[in-house]
Every structure is written in structure tokens, then in C-alpha cells.
Amino acid sequence: MTRRRIAHSFLYLFLAAGLALFIGFIAAPAITRSLAIVHEGVLTKIHAVQARGQAIWREIQARQAIRQYELQQRQPMPRNQVQQTAEQQLLKDTAWKRFYIPPEACKHPDAEDRFEICVLREAQFRKEFDRRWAAGKFAQPKS
């Protein structure tokens, strides 16, 4: 080999070593940090979706339990009483729709925190509405 080839070989070896050090000390940690940030963001979104799904599932289960209890407690009613109950429920539903109008942020909540706040807010309004309804502060038919 000639001296020139040997010099080029050392130059290539030196450049390869420099590139390896650059990747090892600078690029690899930066890439690792970037991937960790992306991973953390994805995990956060996954947890938010899971939490929202669990909240919805709990709400569904609660509603099913209430329906099951109501079905067990019901006695067969005469036809006119069924109609009267349906009319009363329609009046109550109409009064509820006038009483509680959800804010825009609660119509399509985009975060789990917002969803929970909206559910709690609606529950508070529902409790107050039911209290007022029972006290006769809304138009209801007389039984």
C-alpha cells in the first residue's frame, strides 16, 4: 500500500470514529428524549380515553341498576294510570330541558377533566331540579 492510501484509510477511520461518537453522545440521547416525549404524550391520551370510557361505563351500569330496581318495584298499572304517568314523565322531561341547558364546553367535552366537571355539574342541577319538582315548583299534573 502506498502512503497515500494509508493516509486515506486513517482519515476514513478517524471520520467513522467521529461519526460513531457523534451518534453515541449527541444524536442517540436526543432521539431517545424525543421518543420518550412522544411516548409520554401517547400514554397520556390513552389514559384519558380509558378514564373517559370507564366513567361512561360506570354511568351505564348505574343507569342499568336503576332501571332494574324500577322494574322490580313496578306493579302492573291500569291503562289510564300508564297514560297519566307517561304524560307526567313527558312534562317532567320538558321541564328538565328548560331547567338545564348544558354549556357549549359540555356538549362535546374534549378532555377527561372537562367530562367529569360536566357530569358533576349536570348531577348537581338534576338534584336541584328533582328537589324543586318534588316540591311542586314546576307545572305537574295532579294525580
pLDDT value at residue 141: 44
Does the reported pTM lie above 0.85? no
CA distances from 118 to 24, 34, 45, 59, 66 (A): 49, 34, 19, 13, 21
Whether 135 shows a pLDDT value over 50: the answer reads yes
* Cell triple for 42: 401517547
Alpha helices in 1-143 (DSSP H): 3-22, 28-73, 79-99, 104-107, 112-134
Q: What is the DSSP letter of 136?
A: T
